[in-house]
Structure 1
Amino acid sequence: MKKGKKHQQVNCNGNNRPTSSTTNRNEKGHGEHVSWKKKKLLDIHQALNSDPVDIETLRKAAVSEGGLLTDDIRRKVWPKLLNVNVYNLPTKPGRDVRENHKDYNQVLLDVRRSMRRFPRAFCFGSPGMRVAEREVLQEQLIDIILDVLRKNPQLHYYQGYHDIVVTFLLVVGERMAIALVETLSNHHLRDFMDPTMDSTKHILNYLMPILEQVDRELHDFMLQAEVGTIFALSWLITWYGHVLSDFRHVLRLYDFFLASHPLMAIYFAAVIVLHREKEVKNSECDMAMVHHLLSNIPQNLPYEELIDRAQSLFARYPPSQLAKRAALQSRKSIAISTFQDFQLTTLQQRPDSVLRRQRLTNGQLSLTDDTAAAATPTSANQLVKMAVWGISATLGAAALAVAQTALEWGPDLLLQLF
């Protein structure tokens, strides 16, 4: 027997069974992972309760490994990243929102074709979403899109917009989705919502200069193949929601993009191409072949690694440096030019506890408000409070703060952390 096999054990199913030392290492790794999640949760909790809210910490949490961890946390943090007051949300659209709307027919067609964006029934052993539930959400999706467009006549619908809106609807609900999408459409997505695609093409034109800076050989190969950048169009204008099948990956990228510069989605496109550089260079130097290869985005991408690389490339080759190239000088981007001012507006937000008190004082807070502050069911609250008391007695003040935050965001999160 070889030395390397000496400590290997086999269980009754014939599978390799880890030794005690391996088990200890795995337990240590799991413990470190849990500690990392607890620390991140505590940082987010403290940032949300600072006055003003600590937006920089929230941005770092959204960008760093794992993103915002759960949808409960996203319902707290996404509004802060976009400067949306969850205690002053727009009302649900009335039925008249559809009357005589020029985009209604196109929106209806796109939403009807969006079935795959909703959790499928009996998918991967889980019950998924019932047909009736999906149909209700599709109707809400139509109303959200038309309501935002009706309130903002400067915005023009494009095919793929519904892929972005549905992501927010599934995470935060109808009323908060309206508020978040309206803000996002006037800032990060603004260039895609012009009457023509000229501004969108302008954003796509950043892709090749990024590749040229990092891998000149790959850049020249793609130029020779005349593949252009149209393969990345659906990536960019849907924030990858249309091309990624796993909703977890979509959410991870939305955390990243919401906390980043509007052009980060094109930097992410560049790192995907760079990640696949061997495949591209080994393919036939033909437009159709290269376009087909790049259009079919792999589903098993190393997302955290690519997010890190996109940030590094953004820092090393910022848009201002790339824009000096002749091809990028002719058009002004609304999203880029307004981004700095938009970021400044997010820095003086009050924590939700203060916003809630203000609404209560003014008598404006309704129990039917569709906000992230929805109460946990009473029976669940009592059980989780008991768990919190036990945790605080054994793990100390820091763990108590984490547990209290988990209670606020939902009992499922507490079970994940402890």
Structure 2
Amino acid sequence: MNLKKSRNFGESSMSLDGIGKQDAGDTKRKRKVAEITQALNATPVDVATLRRMAISEGGLMSHEIRRKVWPRLLNVPDESIPEKLDEVDRENNKDYNQVLLDVQRSLRRFPPGMPDEQRMGLQEELIDIILRVLQKNPQLHYYQGYHDIVVTFLLVLGERLATALVEKLSTHHLRDFMDPTMDNTKHILNYLMPIIERVNPEVYDFMQQAEVGTIFALSWLITWFGHVLSDFRHVVRLYDFFLACHPLMPIYFAAVIVLYREEEVLDCECDMAMMHHLLSQIPQDLPYETLISRAGDLFVQFPPSELAKGATRERAQQTAASTFTDFDLASAQQQPETVLRRRQREQKQQQKQHGSTLNPQSGTVSVIRPAARRLVRLAVMGITVALGAAALAVVNSALEWAPKLDLLFP
């Protein structure tokens, strides 16, 4: 998989003139809105289609649509959203002072030009949402950066709806970040380098030699990139993607950012401080749609269950993220059959031809061989059509996957 940054990266065809492109875009948008509306009006709601729409190019397109779809992606029914919000006891909340300081420093997260009075009102609502969720769920622990996620939901959904979704998110996708210690957060960061190693061993070796570690991606992960991206449109586009996917998808997206910057990484001085400085300064002009699609491809090719090995696997079983089953991938034209099953058959064929390499600890066959990787990629590319592997991974096996989601989000 070539994730290298180049001048031609993301260039589009010029076969249509400007007016033609606009007309085609409008038609595509209207078709997508109609499909989302149909999915929302179905009985029961067609969550699989909503996930496909959230992942596919352009995401959910508008805050109006997000207000309808985000609750469905998190399985928050209308009847669970309270008409009246609980009162917040600020004086007796142990986190109030820290939350207040963080919210006061969050000016850049609000739209430029917003009147001070309106912004200050939203900041008060932001404080209340955070404290309300913590007050209702004493097992959760506030962390710096949590407010960057909550403010995104507030700006899109408003206080009442945001409170309900943030609570569900905090007890599921963000649960590992809200432990008393950072142990599980550090463990999730440990998935980053194995992904990079499998795709680009040269970049992996260079980063290992520089001893840069993974802390540069900490703020990316725990804020879902909300803290590091200046354009709110890009933030909510990523939230569409992450809400429709496995909780570990942000770490896959972090990996494709590093891989996309291959030339910059390899040109950097092989020094921990220099490398950390380079990687922590995330570019603002990323080709988001391409990276989203490729993050989905990597998830399908290297699911979390494959990345967790030996002692790491034991540790993974203690994280909330590990309770989410790896997504199945199936062709829209075929009966559900996962890429993983196809890959197993391909591995068996290769074993007969070239012999096998066994992991002495787990007894599993190594899948790092480049030829096997190319076969997997071809299998993925052959059935992704225009949506990308991630969309199909969560959609086309909806009959298998939707019941699992009901169990995960009771």
Q: Specify the TM-score bucket, using the shorter chain as the normaliser.
A: 0.7 to 0.9
- Once residues 185 and 129 of structure 2 are traced to their aligned partners in structure 1, the CA distance between those partners, rounded to angstroms, is 23
CA RMSD of aligned residues (A): 2.0
1:97-116 equivalent positions in 2, closer than 5 A: 97-116=89-108
1:49-198 equivalent positions in 2, closer than 5 A: 49-90=41-82, 92-93=84-85, 96-121=88-113, 129-198=114-183
- Once residues 294 and 169 of structure 1 are traced to their aligned partners in structure 2, the CA distance between those partners, rounded to angstroms, is 29
Distance 1:41 1:325, change over 3 A: farther
- Describe the superposition over 1:38-88 as per-residue Cα deviations: whole angstroms up to 9, x where unpaired: 111111011001101001000000000000000000000001011112344
- Once residues 305 and 184 of structure 2 are traced to their aligned partners in structure 1, the CA distance between those partners, rounded to angstroms, is 16
- Describe the superposition over 1:148-184 as per-residue Cα deviations: whole angstroms up to 9, x where unpaired: 0111111110000000000000000001001000000
1:35 aligns with 2:94: no
Structure number with greater CO (CA < 8 Å, separation at least 6) is 1
Distance 1:100 1:221, change over 3 A: same
Asked whether the 8 Å contact 2:149–2:223 carries over to 1, the reply is: yes
Amino acid at match of 1:110: D
Partner of 1:416: none
Partner of 1:230: 215
Asked whether the 8 Å contact 1:155–1:190 carries over to 2, the reply is: yes
Asked whether the 8 Å contact 2:220–2:254 carries over to 1, the reply is: yes
Partner of 1:344: 403
Deviation at 1:92, TM superposition (A): 4.8
Asked whether the 8 Å contact 1:54–1:347 carries over to 2, the reply is: no
1:207 aligns with 2:266: no
Partner of 2:285: 300
Partner of 2:345: none
Misfit runs of 4+, over 6 Å: none
Task: State the identity as a percent.
Answer: 66
- Once residues 322 and 68 of structure 2 are traced to their aligned partners in structure 1, the CA distance between those partners, rounded to angstroms, is 28
Deviation at 1:28, TM superposition (A): 2.1
- 3-state SS of 1:255 partner: helix
- Describe the superposition over 1:209-233 as per-residue Cα deviations: whole angstroms up to 9, x where unpaired: 0000000010010000000000000
- Once residues 311 and 287 of structure 1 are traced to their aligned partners in structure 2, the CA distance between those partners, rounded to angstroms, is 29
Partner of 1:379: none
1:314 aligns with 2:291: no
Asked whether the 8 Å contact 2:316–2:322 carries over to 1, the reply is: no
Structure 2 unaligned residues grouped into runs of 5+ = 1-13, 326-399
Deviation at 1:338, TM superposition (A): 3.3
Partner of 2:39: 47
Give me the TM-score of the superposition, normalised by structure 1.
0.73
Aligned length: 320
Asked whether the 8 Å contact 2:229–2:235 carries over to 1, the reply is: yes
- 3-state SS of 2:193 partner: helix
Alignment partner of 1:264 out of 238, 249, 258: 249
Asked whether the 8 Å contact 2:88–2:131 carries over to 1, the reply is: no
- Once residues 330 and 95 of structure 1 are traced to their aligned partners in structure 2, the CA distance between those partners, rounded to angstroms, is 38
1:351-370 equivalent positions in 2, closer than 5 A: none
- 3-state SS of 1:330 partner: helix
- Describe the superposition over 1:14-36 as per-residue Cα deviations: whole angstroms up to 9, x where unpaired: xxxxxxxx897322222221111
